[in-house]
Structure 1
Amino acid sequence: MKTAFDRLNIKPFLLNAMIEQGFKKPTDIQERVVPGILNGYDIIGQSQTGSGKTLAFLLPVLNKINTEKNEIQAIITAPTRELAQQIFDEYEKLSEYFPEDEFIRAKTVVGGTDRKRMADRLKNAPHLIIGTPGRIKDLVNNEGINIFTATTLVVDEADQMLDMGFIEDVDQVAARMATEIQMLVFSATIPEKLQPLLKKYMNNPRHVHVSPEQATAKEIKHVLIPLKHKDKIKTLIEVAKAYNPYLCLIFVNTKKTADEVADAMLAEGMNAERLHGDVPPRERKNIMKRVQKAEFQYVVATDLAARGIDIKGVSHIINFELPSDLDYYIHRTGRTGRAGMTGIAATITEPSDQLAIQKLQQRKIPFVQEELKNGEWKEMPLRTKKASVQKGSSGVGVQKPKKVKPGYKKKMAEEKRRLEKRQYRNKK
């Protein structure tokens, strides 16, 4: 029977795995990058969280592996051990459908594991390595593994790699691979500082950019909650309690704020946990396991700690602060309203947020404004004040033209006509 996945031209067992897992058709990013990867092109893929990006590179990478060769053929790098484990989990789901004579072996290589024990596990070379670039580099440098046979390198969440200082590790891993490699880079944004790595290893890459349509999906309700000179943390607690979510992610911009918010919620007896870069890796792994088991109702997180981590069952998102990079708004809110479920993305706003909200509205995000009155949500007219200063083409702030009073233009036109008549008489 023909399916929508047939046009991807992947092996029958991978095709069967997708159908058996209940996937009806390829997502936009899968449709657009899988054929290019199978044809050997270098790819730069940009898409939002929840777009099916992981399978977009995992399916063709697995498809290209030759199981008759007992050597490492592909490496997938991720910035955090949690994201690497998430990719490995997707591999394991697919591996249930591998035929015995075409079984593709994969191993994770991440920090927090004894190096010698890990090197022993890798003596029987897997076909695929999924891990963090620092630990892969460490094992290669200490001759724990040989990767000179690997011809495909995936760099997932590349901009996050850059933010966390891992791009040099990626470079060193790539340098130890085969002479000619196919590089597949997936990133929400492509910062200028990423360009040297791309130019060094990529050959005329195909750039695929999938617009963040999910931000405007009907499944997500985007709510603005004005602060109105109240205490912000108290307002957040009030809002969070009123929503009484199944699972709510609360986004903040700094580790310090994450701790302040989480501590305040715990003091109120709320079932909350924090997730940020200063939480030790082992503890973070334990938190993620407990989150997946729905042991917490609220998780306070920074963008770098939470981005790329797939947390199922998120019913609500609350932005305690808007991110300075508005692309992160798309990533945050894209974690709810998934798989046909509905979700609420609420943002506590201050007057200083007006310009950012206008920019998000220009991206077709359908905001509504609500206030909590006597324990009930009331929709209010959405009024966003226009900023008094806007940037000119040079990037320098320029004053907006003032509003013209009614009748002013008519008065000026009459004055102009009188002046023209006077000049005409004088000429005569």
Structure 2
Amino acid sequence: MNNIFEDSRIRPELQTGLKAINFVNPTEVQKKVIPALLSEENVVVQAATGSGKTHAYLIPIFNQIDVTADYVQAVITAPSRELADQLYQVAKTLRKASGLPLTIAHLAGGTDRERQISRLQAKRPQLIIATPGRLLDFVEKKIFPIDQVKTFVIDEADMTLDMGFLADIDKVASRLPKQVLFAAFSATIPVKLANFLRKYMAHPEEIIIDNPAVISPTIKNDLLDVGSKSKKQVLYQLLTLGQPYLALVFANTKQKVDEITSFLQAQNLKVAKIHGGITERERKRTLRQVEQGQFQYVVASDLAARGLDIDGVSLVINYEIPRDLEFVIHRIGRTGRNGLPGHAITLMREEEMPSIEQLENLGIKFDFVELKNGQLQARKHHHYRENRQAKQGKLDTRLVGYVRKEKRKRKPGYKKKIQRAIQEDNRKKRKLEQRHEIRKAKRLRKRKREQGR
């Protein structure tokens, strides 16, 4: 089968609907996942954001739902309200295009619970798209039964883990029928997540979509060492450098988001902020205003990096390097979407070089730049100086001082003392390098083992 969308197992209405929304050439994840789910195989899928995974599970779900049966047949969970709403909108689009008369319910925390209950009682949904907390609430209160669910999908499973929702998923999954088809989709598969998934899937089909370019090739990914400069001033310069269509600035905490927002507003920039501390009403209003083009700059916490899909982001700035380094991938992935060009800049200081090296080990490639004369210009790779010094056998500052001091004293035997000091220093350096290589090899082996699970 050259084109999985034309698979004879897929309903003709669904095939027609896919053509209507210009789904002609399947992505790699769709080529591998759709046949597996059509064959009713449990799957664990590791694929990057934007790989087409949403339709990879929606198409088989739509295909297997009995539109004449008035009960819940499939459940999809998403870890945030925004992601659940995005999935709901995509599902509605596919339903409209295909003309299939199936009913879909969108259940999320932060929305009117009683209204949701009344809608469910008025018309029983066949597909539920929900956040873990609201789903568990309704299942425990027996608002609807899940004993006839055929397919259960956990989307953004690693984010579900990060946000502490696996316990809710566990309580729901334990009430599902034994023969239910499980599918989990995730950008990464941490050990804790892998252990959890094994509880419900004994021998799943593991599908890993290789993504050698961790960062999309449409994104220019820069690294800027701010040195002793004010980080806020550097940020202001970058934001006003080329007048981005829409710029996203990421910080690690709500407090830092507030601080950056206040600073930029004081510079007369119209800035919106999004983090977990604002009310649901304020969040929705802000997003609506951003979509309407009322803001050119948005400062956000990592929740926004994984939970929001804002169109038209042309610039992403990592004001801080996140504690969980993999968040950098999700932050940068907010720009350069749908084949459009994007630009990402990560701000760092010298003491953060170990984190940058870890990011490079994850496969993230940076272009090293500096701010000169109001422009971003290429600079030497951050390893250049230390490599050059190593080749030249340059002494560290402590030994340089020792040499100068001994030269001034000019006591007998000072040359031998210096040579011994240099030899001892070189011995220590070699020992440290060996330790570093051993630790690096251990980390690589551990990562390979985790990926192989």
TM-score by length of 2: 0.80
Question: 2:438 maps to which residue?
Answer: 393
More moved, 315-324 vs 325-334: 325-334
Contact 2:215 2:333 in 1 (8 A): no
Residue 247 of structure 2 contacts residue 315 of structure 2 at CA under 8 Å; is this kept in 1? yes
- With 329-338 and 219-228 compared, the bigger mean Cα shift is at 329-338
Residue equivalent to 1:154: 153
- Give the whole-Å Cα distance in 2 for the aligned partners of 1:169 and 1:378: 49
1:67 touches 1:103 (CA, 8 Å); kept in 2? yes
C-alpha distance in structure 2 between counterparts of 1:296 and 1:9, whole Å: 46
Q: How far does residue 125 in structure 1 lie from its aligned partner after superposition? A: 1.0
Q: 2:111 is matched with which residue?
A: 113
Residue aligned with 2:221, SS: strand
Q: Report the structure, 1 or 2, having the larger helix content.
A: 2
Residue 28 of structure 1: aligned partner: 28
The yes-or-no answer on 1:45 pairing with 2:45 is yes
Q: State the partner residue of 1:325.
A: 324
Q: Percent identity?
A: 38
Question: What do the CA deviations read for 1:291-348 (whole angstroms, capped 9, x no partner)?
Answer: 2223221111222333042211111111112233332222222221122211111111
For residues 73 and 363 of structure 2, the distance between their equivalents in structure 1, rounded to whole angstroms, comes to 43
CA distance in 1, matches of 2:174, 2:441: 43
Q: How many angstroms apart in 2 are the aligned matches of 1:201 and 1:396?
A: 33
Q: Please tell me whether residue 74 in structure 1 is matched to residue 74 in structure 2.
A: yes
Provide, for residues 95-152 of structure 1, a one-character-per-residue CA deviation record: whole Å limited to 9, x for no partner.
11233xx411101011233333211211221110001111111112222211211121
Question: Given residue 62 of structure 1, which amino acid in structure 2 is its aligned partner?
Answer: F
Shift of 1:218: 3.0
Q: 3-state DSSP class of the match of 1:97? A: helix
1:372 alignment partner, SS class = strand
Partner Cα distance (1:45, 1:86) in 2 = 20
The yes-or-no answer on 1:16 pairing with 2:16 is yes
The 1-side partners of 2:349 and 2:171 are apart by 45
CA distance in 2, matches of 1:298, 1:353: 26
How many angstroms apart in 2 are the aligned matches of 1:236 and 1:251?
A: 11
More divergent stretch after superposition (308-317 vs 191-200): 191-200
> C-alpha separation between the residues in 2 aligned to 1:305 and 1:311?
9
Correspondence for 1:380:
379
Contact 1:44 1:205 in 2 (8 A): yes
- Cα distance in 1 for partners of 2:360, 2:75 equals 40
2:419: which partner in 1? none
Distance in 2, matches of 1:71 and 1:182, equals 17
Separation in structure 1 between the aligned mates of residue 303 and residue 280 of structure 2, nearest angstrom: 14
Answer with 363-372 or 340-349: which moved more.
363-372
In structure 2, how many angstroms separate the alpha carbons of the residues matched to 1:291 and 1:4? 37
1:194-245 superposed Cα distances (whole Å, 9 cap, x missing partner): 2443122113111112233453443111112220210111211111111311
Q: Is the 8 A contact 2:80 2:307 kept in 1?
A: no
Deviates more, 1:61-70 or 1:114-123: 114-123
1:307 alignment counterpart: 306
Q: For residue 60 of structure 1, what is the aligned residue in structure 2?
A: 60
Contact 1:150 1:178 in 2 (8 A): yes
Aligned to 1:279: 278
Which consecutive unaligned segments of at least 5 residues does structure 1 have? Answer: 398-428
1:229-287 superposed Cα distances (whole Å, 9 cap, x missing partner): 10111211111111311111112222222121122111212121122222222322222
What residue identity is the alignment partner of 1:379?
A
Unmatched 5+ stretches in structure 2: 388-428, 443-453
Structural RMSD (CA): 2.4
1:8 to partner: Cα distance: 8.8
CA distance in 1, matches of 2:299, 2:320: 12
The one-letter amino acid of 1:218's match is P
**Displacement of 1:65 after TM fit?**
0.9
Q: Does the CA-based 8 Å contact 2:77-2:154 persist in structure 1?
A: yes
* Distance across 1 between alignment mates of 2:104 and 2:263: 43
1:59-87 deviation line (CA, Å, top 9, x unaligned): 21111111121110001111111110000
